[in-house]
Amino acid sequence: MRAAMAGADVDDDVLSGDPTAQRFEEEVARIMGKEAAVFVPSGTMGNLISVLVHCEVRGSEVILGDNSHIHIYENGGISSIGGVHPRTVKNNPDGTMDIDRIEAAIRHPDGALYYPTTRLICLENTHANCGGRCISVEYTDRVGELARKHGLKLHIDGARIFNASAALGVPVHRLVQAADSVSVCLSKGLGAPVGSVIVGTKDFITKARRLRKTLGGGMRQIGVLCAAAYVALRDNVVKLEDDHRKAKIFAGSQFSLCDQVFFNINESSMISPISLCEALEKFGVLAMPASSTSVRVVIHYQISESDVHYALTSIKVALSLLLLEGPKSSYSRNTSCWNHKMRTESVIHHFTCS
């Protein structure tokens, strides 16, 4: 990947187009089954641009999951920068939103005097905050039909859409067939250093390019980044299946579908996810607290099967050390329920997987 970056053919992508970027964008559009593509600096910018292009008229509203990345983790940019009104619909634990709830959230044109105008529905696949759940092609198609019936657009935040495609065994172009636009992260499981890409119609991408420039995301010799992204697409998509296999080994459960595993820590152990993650870091295992009781682990292609076993052992050792250490002072309110003999196996009581 580094060699491809060093050897990339480049030019000014703002002025005349960078040849490596153009080749990369054409290839992504082909793989995703859409007319055109544009490279953007981040997934957040990709989603922001997509929502803003679909909602270019002021007073537009977007329907999106209450637990979606766009709603929770993107600084509310669609409203603060784009003036787009978010209408949230409850995300089910599997990452979907009930179709009838989506339909009920669509504004009736009769109320146009006082309602914002619904223009867009957003899905997320895989759904990050729902544990990396995959959204099926059947569900996506049904939401697409609903969108068309009401004259709306469908955007998919497909940060990990290639993971969903691999886990579901559905080609990515089929999985996103119903969508008008998709944003895809190149720097997550695919392993490129920087960037995302959005796909859609030629007209959508022309507007997206203009907005990318407005937002300061027009970059010059972008071929250096697109060369890496091209290698990621060519060499790393095929490795995702193996990442999922290793995630399953980690989870020790048949429910693991993707590259992420969430596990809960038994609250009565008095061990916080933060202290467990800090302890794991000393073993060279990096994990992330996901909530006050759970930890998130992500597998990627540079993590071998023996690394997975090492991580599992490290968790056991870290937990026994933490149990020996006893509760931190912040837990002193509750020390009466502290049990020094608690076995580490009972501390992690539940692996949920995606």
Ligand X SMILES: *Cc1c(COP(=O)(O)O)cnc(C)c1O
What is the binding site for ligand X (CB under 6 A)?
A: 42-44, 47, 69, 124, 128, 157, 159, 185, 196
Calculate the alpha carbon distances from 175 to 29, 120, 128, 143, 271 in Å.
14, 18, 17, 12, 40
Q: How far is the CB of 339 from ligand X (least distance, A)?
A: 37
By C-beta, is 60 or 91 nearer to ligand X? Answer: 91
Q: Residue 8 gets which letter from DSSP?
A: -
By C-beta, is 42 or 294 nearer to ligand X? Answer: 42
Q: How far is the CB of 53 from ligand X (least distance, A)?
A: 17
Q: How far is the CB of 42 from ligand X (least distance, A)?
A: 4
By C-beta, is 21 or 159 nearer to ligand X? Answer: 159
Nearest residue (beta carbon) to ligand X:
43
Count of alpha carbons within 13 angstroms of residue 337, beta-carbon side: 9
CB 208 within 8 A of CB 197: no
Give Cα 154 distance to the centre of its chain. Answer: 17
Q: How far is the CB of 224 from ligand X (least distance, A)?
A: 18
By C-beta, is 44 or 354 nearer to ligand X? Answer: 44
Count of positions (residues) in the chain: 354
Q: How far is the CB of 44 from ligand X (least distance, A)?
A: 3
User: From the CB of residue 85, how many other CB atoms can be counted at a distance below 10 Å?
Assistant: 18
By C-beta, is 24 or 106 nearer to ligand X? Answer: 24
CB 84 within 8 A of CB 60: yes
Spatial CA neighbour of 47 closest among 156, 121, 186: 156
